[in-house]
Amino acid sequence: MTRAVIFAPEAEDDLLQLYDFIADRSGPDHAYGYAERIRSYCLAFETFPERGIRRDDLRPGLRLVRFEQRVTIAFHLTPAAVVIDRILYGGRDAEGLLADE
Where are the chain's structural domains?
Answer: 4-100
Given this model, what pLDDT does residue 6 score? 98
Given this model, what pLDDT does residue 7 score? 98
The CATH homologous superfamily of the domain defined by 4-100: RelE-like (3.30.2310.20)
Given this model, what pLDDT does residue 43 score? 96
Given this model, what pLDDT does residue 90 score? 78
Given this model, what pLDDT does residue 98 score? 66
Mean pLDDT by 10 residues, the chain (101 residues): 92 96 95 97 93 92 93 95 94 61 54
Given this model, what pLDDT does residue 92 score? 61
Given this model, what pLDDT does residue 2 score? 85
How many whole angstroms separate alpha carbon 8 and alpha carbon 31?
21
Give which of 23, 11, 18, 32 is closest to 87, Cα–Cα: 11
How many whole angstroms separate alpha carbon 12 and alpha carbon 63?
18
Given this model, what pLDDT does residue 101 score? 54
Exposed e or buried b per residue across 14-45, where buried means at least 16 C-beta atoms within 10 angstroms of its C-beta = bbeebbeebbeeeeeeebeebbeebbeebeeb
